[in-house]
Amino acid sequence: MVTSTHETSHRIFQDRPELLAPVFQILGLPLPAKATVDVLTPDTTEIRPLERRVDSVLRVEPPDGGGFLLAIEAQGRRDPDKGSSWTYYLGYLRAKFGLPVLLLVVCQDRTTATWAAGPFTTGYGGWTAVRVHPLVLGPDNVPVITNAAETKRDLAMAAFSAMTHGRHPEAPAILEALAQALGTADRGSLAYYSELLEIGLGDTPAADIWRNLMAVGTYFPGRGTLIETTYLKGKAEGEAKSVLRVLTARGVDVPEATAQRILECTETETLDRWLDRAVTAERVEELFAPEA
């Protein structure tokens, strides 16, 4: 389960491996076509009681062999210990799986991204024994995607762009394009990206914008999209409860069957009319009288 801003930055690669293709293009590396991607355990702990865990590890296997491992780390700030940790991760994974290993560091701010590019060296007396060169994704190389058609073609990349640029001046435009694309997406994508962005944007101003976009309703009114249906259902439930609350506060008797009828109504115009009448009705039947 997605539990933090940190986790969403690397978890999206596990859940949406199709994101690797555009990401590798950004990084200038060739990604084999039709490669399969498997999620491996991120645990790199040895027998000693010292726990080490990389955020995500993916195994990329082309159809004709020659696969590699991709270790992914989400980094929110500079950390003087990461150089040695990353060196260990790469060495351990190379020895355990016998495959080449790349390290990808995902950052949401430019300063951390610049630092994370390294290189990180290990050696002594001017001699470099190991040099680690991470691949880095950050605000400088992740595209700002504000075009609705482009967003619809690649929801994963658009969502990653939104999380990376949560403090960018174009963040509202990125999120509006994503919300519009989700208006016609399947139920699973809508649920996944809605939650991913709500958590992944963290405490940025964009997080509030995203919550408002998801609450406002729909960019396609009357088209029956999931966003529209969910919004209208929630609005109807709230109004139905308001009708009953007003009647109860005024001491109007509401039989159980009538209360159920009100709660099951999904027509907001009808509920608006009932709420207006509840303010003055002496008997609950007055709510249902035909309009003059």
Which residues lie below 8 Å from residue 10, measured CB to CB, with a gap of 6+? 55, 56, 72, 73, 74, 106
Which range of residues forms the domain containing residue 111? 5-137
pLDDT of 222 higher than 80: no
Asked which of 167, 189, 216 is the last residue of a domain, the reply is 216
- Kindly indicate the confidence band of residue 47, based on its pLDDT and cuts at 50, 70 and 90: very low
Tell me the per-residue pLDDT of 150-168, one tens digit each, with 9 for 90 and over.
Answer: 998 999 999 999 999 988 8
The rounded distance, in Å, linking the Cα atoms of 275 and 292 is 17
Asked which of 70, 102, 137 is the last residue of a domain, the reply is 137
142 inside domain: no
Tell me the per-residue pLDDT of 107-149, one tens digit each, with 9 for 90 and over.
Answer: 988 999 999 998 999 888 889 899 999 999 999 999 999 988 8
241 plus 209 within the same structural domain: no
> Half-sphere exposure of residue 101, counting CA atoms within 13 Å on the CB side?
21
202 plus 235 within the same structural domain: no
Q: Where are the alpha helices (DSSP H) in the chain?
A: 5-15, 20-27, 82-97, 110-116, 148-153, 155-164, 171-182, 187-200, 205-216, 226-249, 256-264, 268-278
pTM of this prediction? 0.67
222 inside domain: no
pLDDT of 6 higher than 80: no
161 plus 240 within the same structural domain: no
Asked which of 93, 117, 137 is the last residue of a domain, the reply is 137
- Kindly indicate the confidence band of residue 231, based on its pLDDT and cuts at 50, 70 and 90: low
98 plus 188 within the same structural domain: no
Q: At what angle do helices 155-164 and 187-200 cross, to 10 degrees?
A: 10
17 plus 132 within the same structural domain: yes
pLDDT of 199 higher than 60: yes
221 inside domain: no
Structure tokens at 127: 């001699």
- Kindly indicate the confidence band of residue 205, based on its pLDDT and cuts at 50, 70 and 90: confident
Please confirm whether the linkage preceding 119 is cis (ω < 30° from 0): yes
Percent of the chain at pLDDT > 90 equals 32
Average per-residue pLDDT in the chain?
A: 83
